[in-house]
Amino acid sequence: MKTKIIMIRHGESVTNRTGVFTGESDVALTDIGLEQAELAGVALRDEHIDVIYSSDLSRATDTAAPVARSHGLEIIPDRRLREICAGEWEGMTFGDIAEKYPEDYKIWKTRLGAMVCPGGESIVGMCERVIAAVTEIAERHPGETVCIASHATPIRAICAITSGVPIGELEREPYLPNASISRFEYEDGKFTLVKKGDVSHLAGKITKLPDTI
């Protein structure tokens, strides 16, 4: 049976705004991020949704909250839906990373799929973790509509497997803005992309920051 999957990237976080590599650190949404979350909730308010999952980090659960509230559903946290564990880069500004780790930062900017964060996780490892989690969730809810709040790189991982992009070449997958909505279907072990990175619901509240993990 076909499962519908709606994935929302979290709204703008305080570290998105300040240019800090956040990774698995838990940070709050900005006022704009909270507005983006509400707009995503409005966009999905009249849509049938059976269950809501989220990364257990607050910027994702707070983005899922308006959807959960309008549908009378609880949010199921799953740490496997987290952003990449950035190790030594967690909490550093991107400017400082570029200065202290020039070669690694060049890989991050040009060959993302080959990146291993110093003292942290590889992009390939993160992709495998997220793909396994979303596959398990989809198979747990055959024929249902699942909403998942997560992060930029994890959602790009799901986009990659629908477009035939190897996860080791994740740089080929476009950046996804805060609070964008991507839609997929899952059936017989295969994900299909329906719509990627929709921001039509955000009106003048779109944040497009180049380095915002």
**Mean of the pLDDT values across residues 13-20?**
93
pTM of the full structure: 0.96
pLDDT tens digits for range 143-171: 999 999 999 999 999 999 999 999 999 99
Given a cut of 80, is residue 189 above it in pLDDT?
yes
> In 8-151, which ranges are continuous DSSP H helix?
14-18, 31-44, 58-71, 94-100, 102-110, 123-140
Q: Does domain 3-202 have CATH number 3.40.50.1240?
A: yes
Of 134, 148, 130, the closest CA to residue 186 belongs to 134
Give residue limits of the domains in the chain: 3-202
Q: Give the Cβ contact number of residue 99 at 10 Å.
A: 11
Out of 48, 71, 141, 151, pick the active-site residue.
151
At residue 204, the pLDDT reads: 85
CA angle, 109 as apex, 161 and 113 as ends, to 5°?
30
Of 14, 19, 156, the closest CA to residue 89 belongs to 19
**Joined tokens for residue 159:** 């986009």
Give the confidence band of 46 by pLDDT, cuts at 50, 70, 90: very high
Out of 10, 48, 71, 201, pick the active-site residue.
10
Q: What is the mean pLDDT of the chain?
A: 96
At residue 211, the pLDDT reads: 60
Q: Would residue 201 show up in a list of annotated catalytic residues for this protein?
A: no
At residue 209, the pLDDT reads: 67
Q: Would residue 10 show up in a list of annotated catalytic residues for this protein?
A: yes
C-alpha pair distances (Å), 176 with each of 50, 96, 151, 182, 198: 25, 23, 9, 9, 9
